[in-house]
Amino acid sequence: MAKLMSQMGIKNEPIPASRVIVEKEDGSKLVVNNPSVTLIEMQGQKSLQVAGEFAEEKGEQGPSDAEVVMQAVSGASKEEAEKALKEADGDIAQAVLILQDKASADRE
């Protein structure tokens, strides 16, 4: 089978792993213990095949980056925080500085 896959241009590479964690959008995690992981490359695309003991962990979703910026800069709206985050390429500290500079310029 491996020879046939090789002739078709499909590469398989086992990946040694003790645990695989997939963080889902809702904050929960899909955990695979004692996994068998294989990296498959075909036509320039790479994918992972994972098999093992699956479990789901419920996670607490923390505050969004915009909420963190809003808490750091008194009086900042969510829209202002999101705009500053975009300007700062997602860097929370830089977004806070941008809004603080804007607030001090508005006071002058």
Contact predicate 52/33, CB 8 Å: yes
* 59 Cβ neighbours under 8 A, 6+ residues apart: 23, 27, 28, 29
| Residue 80 belongs to a domain | yes
**pLDDT per position as a tens digit, 72-103:** 887 888 888 899 999 999 899 999 999 888 87
Which domain covers residue 95, as residue numbers? 65-103
Number of domains the chain is built from? 2
Average pLDDT on 13-31 reads 90
| Residue 70 belongs to a domain | yes
Task: Give me the percent of the chain exceeding a pLDDT of 70.
Answer: 94
**pLDDT per position as a tens digit, 25-46:** 887 889 999 999 999 999 889 9
Nearest to 30 by CA among 42, 20, 40: 20
Q: Which pair of tokens denotes residue 14?
A: 């086992």
